[in-house]
Amino acid sequence: MRRTILIAAALGLTMVAGACADSATKDDGPCPGGVPVSYDGVDYCVIAAPIIETGFSCPPTFPHSAAGPGFVICGPQDGLSDVDANVVGAIGGSGCYAPLLDVVVVVDNSSSMCGEQTTLAGKLERLALQLQALHGDVHFAVTTPDMQCEVDGTSIFSAGGVFNTTPATAYPPPCQLRYVSSCFSDAECMAAFGDDGGEWTCRHANTEACGTNPNGSVNSECIRQCTEDAECVTATGDPRAVCQKPSPNASDWGCVVPPPEASCPPEVASGQRAWLATNELDAAACLTTVGVNQEKCFKYEQGLGAAWAALDPVGPNAIQSQDFLRTDANLLLVFVSDEDDCTVADGQTVSENDYDTCALLGDTTAGGPLVAVDELVARFRGLKPDRAIIVGAISGDSLAATPSEVDAARAAYVASKTDPKVCFHQTSICDSELGRADYGARYFAFAAAFGDDGVVANLCAPDPFEAFLADLVTRVTQIPPTICHPK
């Protein structure tokens, strides 16, 4: 009895409801029409219906059989019994069997990510549900890139690789409706955006000389003022929008679309578990709505380091890692940020004055303070030496049309970002309706190290999440094996 159970366990297989007979792996060798399985040095052949319903007999290499509900296990030696097969049926029965999947999403929670987060929450929930349809046993967790903040359970719920379990309920004033625009007076904003009848104000650099960076990006933006919620509903096109009034000063009033309403399942909300299980993935927004914060510790972002801190089996969150991470599961890592990674090496520090340029300080192999991307890749590969690792990274990049133009834009970005004039350190490489973004070079390099299992996208592209998440799903569907037993 134990032998047949272990055959299934050796594959790390779990049941996924639904008919998918076309997904069954075929083999023209000694296991024709079936799926070869090896356990404890012995090869077996698992063959699913409808083959077994048409006068089936095991192939000569595997003459002994055990019938189960919708499948047959064929083996080279006697000892497979109907009792064994019935046990296999009890732990799975019919349906599709796919590899286990552990998912960790790192969502930027700096104050420049309001628009992206509101858009992202719904998209990631849909991703989670697609993964649910593909995999019968998914662990889904979210953390943030801030590694220097202290989790206080009041305003900071996820930092240092701790998984988020508390959805944000409000956004601060930096999330008020605004557009990146070259301006140095309110009149310029009114001319550009005032056709809705509302008032617009210009938030600009201290001097006009700092208004435009050497690479052409600007350090100013136009903000929609308001007095009533109805104005904001019209301005944003979202019925949930409100006129936020953080102070008695009307110049501080602006339109905000609050985070989506989200609640976590009881075990997560109570702190018994810090991730969603398979049957809870429709609540993914409860984890992905991480909110934003204006504290200085949030401005130094270490997304790759946060993912490692979340999963390091001997690190600061070792208990979390041991509870969440499964040795027989594949791993999906997703990074969403409008700034690059600045994961600092042990014993190294970065000054607050360098937070805006930290990703360009170099790694330890070049005398800088950051962990080399190759070293981070090796750490994660060490977690899953025998399993697939899929990496998705969405961050800023040039929107230029040709490779040569993209290279030129990246070089101009670096030159501008590292200019001795401090006000130019706000340089961005692209902007969109969601906001401006830095060049996510280290995130892209990390994803590229995983070859075909690395998926990247430009955060400034139109509707950036749609194709990005679809590509991730495609990569997940290509993880072998998938064995199907029709109901």
End-to-end Cα distance, the chain? 23
Question: What pLDDT, on a 0 to 100 scale, did the predictor assign at position 90?
Answer: 36
Question: What pLDDT, on a 0 to 100 scale, did the predictor assign at position 130?
Answer: 80
DSSP letter string over 442-467? Answer: HHHHHHHTTGGGEEEEETTSSSHHHH
Tokens of 94: 């019919």
Question: What is the spatial distance between Cα 441 and Cα 424, in angstroms, rounded to a whole number?
Answer: 19
Per DSSP, what are the bridge partners of residue 101? 138, 330
Question: What are the start-end ranges of the E strands in 150-304?
Answer: 178-180, 200-203, 221-224, 242-244, 254-256
* DSSP-assigned letter for residue 412: H
Q: Is the pTM of this model over 0.75?
A: yes
DSSP letter string over 254-271? Answer: EEE-PPPP----HHHHTT
Question: What pLDDT, on a 0 to 100 scale, did the predictor assign at position 135?
Answer: 59
Distances (CA, A) of 472 to 118, 188, 442, 467: 20, 42, 19, 9
DSSP letter string over 2-28? Answer: HHHHHHHHHTTEEEE-S--GGG----S
Question: What pLDDT, on a 0 to 100 scale, did the predictor assign at position 435?
Answer: 83
Q: What are phi and psi of 113, to 5 degrees?
A: -105, 15
Helix (H) or strand (E) holding 378: helix 373-383
Domains located in the chain, CATH noted: 2-93 (no CATH), 99-169+262-396+438-480 (3.40.50.410), 174-256 (no CATH)
**Cβ contacts of 266 within 8 Å, gap of 6 or more:** none
* DSSP-assigned letter for residue 248: S
Report the alpha-carbon angle 201-205-206, nearest 5: 110
User: What type of residue sits at position 148?
Assistant: Q
Per DSSP, what are the bridge partners of residue 105? 142, 334
Sign of the dihedral defined by the CA atoms of residues 240, 246, 247, 253, in that order? negative
In the block, which residue shows the tokens 């102070």? 247
Q: Are 118 and 41 in contact (CB under 8 A)?
A: no
Helix (H) or strand (E) holding 333: strand 329-336
Q: How many helices (H) and strands (E) does the chain have?
A: 13, 18
Question: What is the spatial distance between Cα 218 and Cα 200, in angstroms, rounded to a whole number?
Answer: 18
Question: What pLDDT, on a 0 to 100 scale, did the predictor assign at position 12?
Answer: 34
Buried-exposed string 37-67: b where 16+ CB fall within 10 A, e elsewhere: beeeeeebbbbbbebbeeebebbeebeebbb
Tokens of 206: 């201290």
pLDDT tens-digit profile, the chain (487 residues): 333 333 333 333 333 333 333 333 444 577 776 667 665 567 777 765 444 444 567 888 888 877 654 567 788 887 665 445 443 443 344 444 556 899 999 999 887 777 777 777 778 888 887 887 775 688 999 999 999 888 888 888 888 999 999 998 888 898 899 999 999 999 999 999 998 889 999 999 889 999 999 999 999 999 999 999 999 999 999 999 999 999 999 999 999 999 888 889 999 999 899 999 988 888 888 898 888 877 777 778 999 999 999 999 999 999 999 999 998 889 999 999 999 999 999 999 999 889 899 999 999 999 999 999 999 999 999 999 988 999 999 999 999 999 999 999 999 999 999 999 999 999 999 998 878 999 999 999 999 999 999 999 999 999 888 899 989 988 988 886 544 443 3
Q: Are 426 and 213 in contact (CB under 8 A)?
A: yes
